[in-house]
């Protein structure tokens, strides 16, 4: 198995050769700090810039890009760091746009919209809880709240007493409140 030698030139112009591991170590030591400065200038976040540069070195090692043309490693790294920085900026821009969209939705001019959303979601939850009630309670609640009938009218229709209808209605409301109490407290936070 033949070991490939990589030829480099240091700052003083001295040309030297070394194996793959040492060549990678040399490249890392040579370009890590300048690449971090370069990335930080683009994204203005020192920690993120260091992460980007480290990721690029990992990619360089995995792709073995410097094995084919070691003389192009510098430009390859700078281009890779620049592209990664642009990707990060795009993600930040997208995230900020979503944050602005949410803030705009919650501003005073859009409170009515938000109220409508809350009302629609609460109504949906209440209706689904009504459908889970025992049959008589379902009938009483639907007739009382959805059809607007009085307890006496419902009692006549269901051949029951007004007191029994009132008890069914009260018990149904209690059951529904228990089921959706966490949702109500969540929306009352706003």
User: Could you tell me if 11 and 51 are in contact, meaning their C-beta atoms sit under 8 angstroms apart?
Assistant: no
Same domain, 12 and 99: yes
Same domain, 68 and 117: no
Structurally, the chain folds into a number of domains equal to 2
Same domain, 150 and 88: no
* Per-residue model confidence as pLDDT tens digits over 54-113: 999 888 877 765 555 656 778 888 889 999 999 998 888 888 877 777 676 666 555 565
In a domain, 1, yes or no: no
User: Could you tell me if 6 and 19 are in contact, meaning their C-beta atoms sit under 8 angstroms apart?
Assistant: yes
How far is residue 107's CA from residue 117's CA, in Å, rounded to a whole number? 14
Domain final residue pick, 104, 133, 148: 104
For residue 29, the domain's CATH number is: 1.10.1740
Nearest C-alpha neighbor of 65 from the set 32, 29, 37, 27: 27
What does the radius of gyration of the chain's CA atoms come to, in whole angstroms?
A: 34
Same domain, 60 and 135: no
Structural domain boundaries, residue 66: 6-104
User: Could you tell me if 52 and 85 are in contact, meaning their C-beta atoms sit under 8 angstroms apart?
Assistant: yes
State the chain's mean pLDDT as an integer. Answer: 78
Residues 6+ apart with CB under 8 A from 164: 155
* Per-residue model confidence as pLDDT tens digits over 22-40: 777 878 888 889 999 999 9
pTM above 0.75, yes or no: no
């Amino acid at each position: 198995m033949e070991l490939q030698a990589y030829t480099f030139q240091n700052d003083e112009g001295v040309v030297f050769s070394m194996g793959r591991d040492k060549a990678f170590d040399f490249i890392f030591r040579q370009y890590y700090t300048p690449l971090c400065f370069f990335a930080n200038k683009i994204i203005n976040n020192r920690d993120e810039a260091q992460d980007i540069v480290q990721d690029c070195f990992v990619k360089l090692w995995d792709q073995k890009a410097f094995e084919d043309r070691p003389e192009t490693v510098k430009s390859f790294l700078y281009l890779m760091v620049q592209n990664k920085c642009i990707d990060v900026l795009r993600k930040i821009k997208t995230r900020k746009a979503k944050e602005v969209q949410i803030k705009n939705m919650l501003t005073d001019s859009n409170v009515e919209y938000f109220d409508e959303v809350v009302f629609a979601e609460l109504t949906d939850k209440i209706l689904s809880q009504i459908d889970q009630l025992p049959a008589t309670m379902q009938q009483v609640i639907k007739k009382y709240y959805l059809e607007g009938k009085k307890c006496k009218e419902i009692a006549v229709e269901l051949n029951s007493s007004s007191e029994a209808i009132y008890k069914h209605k009260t018990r149904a409301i209690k059951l529904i409140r228990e089921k959706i109490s966490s949702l109500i407290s969540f929306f009352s936070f706003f």
